[in-house]
A = this chain, B = another copy of it.
């Protein structure tokens, strides 16, 4: 997505070889025009790619995924389901949980969702801001399997293609669509994969 790549080059800050800050338009401050366009593009791509297969809802993880996922859900006309990050396991049978390790923060959390919002047989699309090690997406896939829900595809705003996330998701036969794929980061330059 050219608009997004241009904005990353203009306003993104490569802190080091692993960390890209996009605070000014994606995850601390959000540009509604750009992120609405991101949502429109996800809706367009998955409508095409899934050949009109019905999407029941969009899922994301709090909190940086919410803005792009909200616009995607609006463009598709379906509900958005926000998976929560809990510090610990919840001991009741009303929720699905999956343990996720965050390499960024070096801690584990329990991805958590109320069972009643994922009904067996439903089909969902996941939207998130970043794909790096793929652990969050694998957690969502785990929860979808627990719920007998089909994860039709994963839309990512920025993929760090030099990390293992995409390979792990493709090994699970996932349809992954990233709007900007970064092959290399350094303090001086941001290089795209395509």
**Which residues of A approach B to under 8 Å, CB–CB?**
23-25, 27-33, 35-36, 57, 62-63, 66-67, 70-71, 73-74, 77-82, 84, 113-114, 117
Contacts and interface: CB of A to CB of B under 8 A. Distances in A.
Contacts of A35: 70
B67 A80 contact: yes
Contacts of A84: 28
How many copies of the chain does the oligomer comprise? 2
A29 B69 CA distance: 12
Given A23-B114, A114-B23, A30 B70 contact: yes
Nearest to A85: B63
B70 A82 contact: no
Contacts of A23: 114, 117
**Residue among A25, A28, A32, A77 with max Cβ neighbours from chain B (10 Å):** A32
Contacts of A32: 70, 73-74, 77-80
